[in-house]
Amino acid sequence: MPEGLSEALQRAQHLADTEPGPSAELFGELAGELERASFAGHAGQLRIRQRDLLASAGQNGAAFAVAAELLLDRYEDGDPAKVVLDYKVVDANGTSLDCGHQKPRRPADSEPV
């Protein structure tokens, strides 16, 4: 962890049980510092803690925003370990469809869309 941040982390952890809102703010600031120092993996862990504390503090909109940011980071990361490779495409009745056929086939005499 970059110099000087361990004390702030201890303070954020100490506040977590009694003051989740201020603790979440500190976790967010720490995550930002880690992101700027290219410690994205560690920053992500602090963002998860920030999200949980925001929810505990009743700040659901802010918690959702952090969760969405985490989701987008994982999506944009493109890490193959985070990609779902085992899947099955089904229709509304649960019938298996060939890969790439998300819509049922139109009858041959129907109008093109």
Mean pLDDT along residues 82-103 = 65
User: For a pLDDT cut of 70, what percent of the chain falls above it?
Assistant: 72
Mean pLDDT along residues 83-109 = 64
Contact 30, 46 (CB under 8 A): yes
Mean pLDDT along residues 89-112 = 65
**Alpha carbons 93 and 30: distance in angstroms, whole number:** 48
Cβ-based neighbours of 96, under 8 Å, separated by 6 or more? 88, 89, 90
Is the confidence at residue 111, as pLDDT, over 90?
A: no
Residue 80 or residue 65, greater confidence: 65
**Alpha carbons 98 and 90: distance in angstroms, whole number:** 8
45 φ, ψ to 5°? -65, -40
pLDDT score, position 6:
85
Mean pLDDT along residues 57-71 = 93
